[in-house]
Structure 1
Amino acid sequence: MRALLVVNPKATTTSARTRDVLIHALASDLKLEVATTEYRGHARDLGRQAVQRGEIELVIVLGGDGTVNEVVNGLLCDGPAPDVLPRLAVVPGGSTNVFARALGLPNHAVEATGALLGALNSGSERTVGLGLAAGTPGTDDAEVPARWFTFCAGLGFDAGVVGRVEQKRERGRRSTHALYVRQVVRQFLGDPYRRHGTITLRRPGEEPVEDLALSIVCNTAPWTYLGNRPVYAAPRASFDTALDVLGLTRLTPSAVTRYGTQLLTSSPERGPRGRHAVSLHDLTEFTLESQVPLPFQMDGDHLGLRTSVTFTGVRRALRVIV
């Protein structure tokens, strides 16, 4: 099998030694090409080129969720083919690695490499669904190009946290869970819309859900990890269904304390619930609209401000080696 290994050398837990071990192990079983990313968006370009060449049967990613997202968007630059879906494998190299861990892969690169080799030898793979987000026709965001996400997206509060973390990382700070927690507190203190939400969720044939202060779109569960602790914003979300949404209509101190505690103690059977919580399951198509521009993120990548985003849940989009 001819494969392309895409390596992000700047990923949090990726080292030259890890890369060399992975290349040596994979080269014994595959006709392997190796490409190292050099700029933001390079992994997307490499994924697109692999599809266009037509001879690459598998793309392997060594990196974090951002690198995985870029490669997926390259592989699906023309959308999923009706007959043959692109094939992807992931070796986690980031700080959180939500997509890889949600697939059941080890969070250690060497262990994940062993699992990958075993799956390749046995022919083990699964088809997963993905989310697609695009600017809404007829709005100021209409020209925003469509983009795929693997595990989550968010408009509003959580995207603001992601944006703050990215600013810190650009100044040389490491991406740690402690850094995220501090930015959650700062986002809460600085968010002018936390008491009166500006977001409306619209879906065909249903009444709109209004006044959301937080909106998290999940393609799988867990939503994220705090160290080794999985956090479930939408416990029923799955790679086998369309998209789930968690919305909160208030982010007062008491509400944040209550729902934050519920997130920290969440499980596959129980997520956030209460008077100000909205949970929706298996949505194929819906739109999030805001009265004011709000931060938007996909797979932990801050994408600027948006006023309207249309989401589509695609149940069969990608084959993953697991």
Structure 2
Amino acid sequence: MRALLVVNPAATTTSARRRDVLIHALASEMKLEAVTTEYRGHARDLGRQAAESDDIDLVVALGGDGTVNEVVNGLLHAGPDPDRLPGLAVVPGGSTNVFARALGLPNDPVEATGALLDALRLGSERVVGLGLTSGTPGTEDEAVPDRWFTFNAGLGFDAGVVGRVEQQRERGKKSTHALYVRQVVRQFLGEQHRRHGPITLERDGADAITDLVVAIVSNTSPWTYLGNRPMYTSPKASFDTGIDVLGLSRLSTAAVARYGTQLLTSSPERGPHGKHALSLHDLDRFTLHSKVPLPLQMDGDHLGLRTSVTFTGVRRALRVIV
């Protein structure tokens, strides 16, 4: 087997020495080419080259969710084809590693490498569904390129938090869960649409849902982790179904306290719920429109402001070694 290892040198939980150990472990079981990313988007370019190659069987992403997202978008640049495209394997090296953990992998990169090698020896793999966003025809965002996400996306409040975290990291702050909590508070204090949300959700065969403050789209569950605590916005979301949505139409102080508590105590059986919470499960396609430009995030990556985004759940999109 020939494999390409895409290494993010800025991965927050792996040192250079530890990465060398992991690379040697993987190289003992396959013909391995290791490439260290040098710029934003490099992992996507490497994934695309692997997809266009005739002799790469597997792409291993060593890094966090952002690295995985780039690799996936490179692999699927011409569309999904699990039977033809190289498989994907993940060695978690970021601060949260939602995609890897949702697949059932250990959060420790050494243990995850061991699990990957076991899976390769056993021929253990699965084909997972993914989410795809695209520009909405007839809107100012029509020409925005398609983009895949592996575990979640969001328009509004949560994307604003992601944007604030990225700004802090650019200033040299370390990505920690405490940093995220601080930015949640700051985003709430600066939120202009707490009571009358600008977001409308439209889908075929159903009435439009209006006045949402935030819309969180999930391709799997949990939605994310706070330390080792999983948090579920859409507990039924799965790699084997379409995509799910949690929408909130109120972000008053009382509502934030209520939904925040529900999120912290959420489980695979129950997520946030109440008068101002909307939950939709296993959707194939829908569009979010906003009266004002709002931040958009995918897999924890801030993608700027958008007024209209179309989401599609694509079943059986990618082959994963696990």
Tell me whether the two structures share a fold, i.e. TM-score over 0.5: yes
Q: Name the structure 1 match of 2:310.
A: 310
Structure 2: distance between partners of 1:8 and 1:121: 25
Q: Deviations over 1:72-114 (max 9, x none)?
A: 0000000012743441000000000000000000000000000
Q: Provide the secondary structure at the position in 2 that maps to 1:140.
A: coil
Q: Name the structure 1 match of 2:251.
A: 251
Maintained 8 Å contact 1:64/1:97? yes
Q: Name the structure 1 match of 2:154.
A: 154
- Structure 1 residues 82 and 107: alpha-carbon distance in aligned structure 2, compared to 1, 3 A threshold: closer
Q: Name the structure 2 match of 1:142.
A: 142
Structure 2: distance between partners of 1:133 and 1:65: 17
Structure 1: distance between partners of 2:255 and 2:277: 10
Q: Name the structure 2 match of 1:277.
A: 277
Structure 2: distance between partners of 1:185 and 1:129: 33
State the shift of 1:289 in Å: 0.4
Q: Name the structure 2 match of 1:101.
A: 101
Maintained 8 Å contact 2:56/2:86? no
Maintained 8 Å contact 1:12/1:94? yes
Is 2:297 the partner of 1:297? yes
Q: Name the structure 2 match of 1:263.
A: 263
Q: Name the structure 1 match of 2:238.
A: 238
Maintained 8 Å contact 1:8/1:14? no
State the shift of 1:52 in Å: 1.1
Structure 1: distance between partners of 2:18 and 2:144: 37
Q: Deviations over 1:118-176 (max 9, x none)?
A: 00000001110000001101101001000000000000000000000000000000000
Q: Provide the secondary structure at the position in 2 that maps to 1:281.
A: strand
Maintained 8 Å contact 2:50/2:86? no
TM-score, scaled relative to structure 2: 0.99
Maintained 8 Å contact 1:141/1:306? yes
Q: Provide the secondary structure at the position in 2 that maps to 1:200.
A: strand
Structure 2: distance between partners of 1:59 and 1:85: 10
Q: Provide the secondary structure at the position in 2 that maps to 1:18.
A: helix
Structure 2: distance between partners of 1:179 and 1:26: 33
Structure 2: distance between partners of 1:81 and 1:95: 30
Q: Name the structure 1 match of 2:81.
A: 81
Amino acid at match of 1:68: V
Aligned residues: 322
Structure 1: distance between partners of 2:85 and 2:267: 32
Amino acid at match of 1:264: L
Structure 2: distance between partners of 1:151 and 1:284: 15
Q: Deviations over 1:238-271 (max 9, x none)?
A: 0000100000000000000000000000000000
Q: Unaligned regions of 5+ residues in structure 2, if any?
A: none
Structure 2: distance between partners of 1:103 and 1:169: 27
Q: Unaligned regions of 5+ residues in structure 1, if any?
A: none
TM-score, scaled relative to structure 1: 0.99
Structure 1: distance between partners of 2:86 and 2:194: 41
- Structure 1 residues 19 and 82: alpha-carbon distance in aligned structure 2, compared to 1, 3 A threshold: closer
Q: Name the structure 2 match of 1:40.
A: 40
Maintained 8 Å contact 2:153/2:296? yes
Q: Provide the secondary structure at the position in 1 that maps to 2:266.
A: coil
Which consecutive segments of 4 or more residues in structure 1 shift more than 6 A?
none
Q: Name the structure 2 match of 1:176.
A: 176
Structure 2: distance between partners of 1:241 and 1:81: 17
State the shift of 1:23 in Å: 1.0
CA RMSD of aligned residues (A): 0.8
Q: Provide the secondary structure at the position in 2 that maps to 1:17.
A: helix
Maintained 8 Å contact 1:85/1:317? no
5 Å-filtered alignment, 1:17-56, equals 17-56=17-56
Amino acid at match of 1:169: R
Structure 2: distance between partners of 1:17 and 1:96: 21
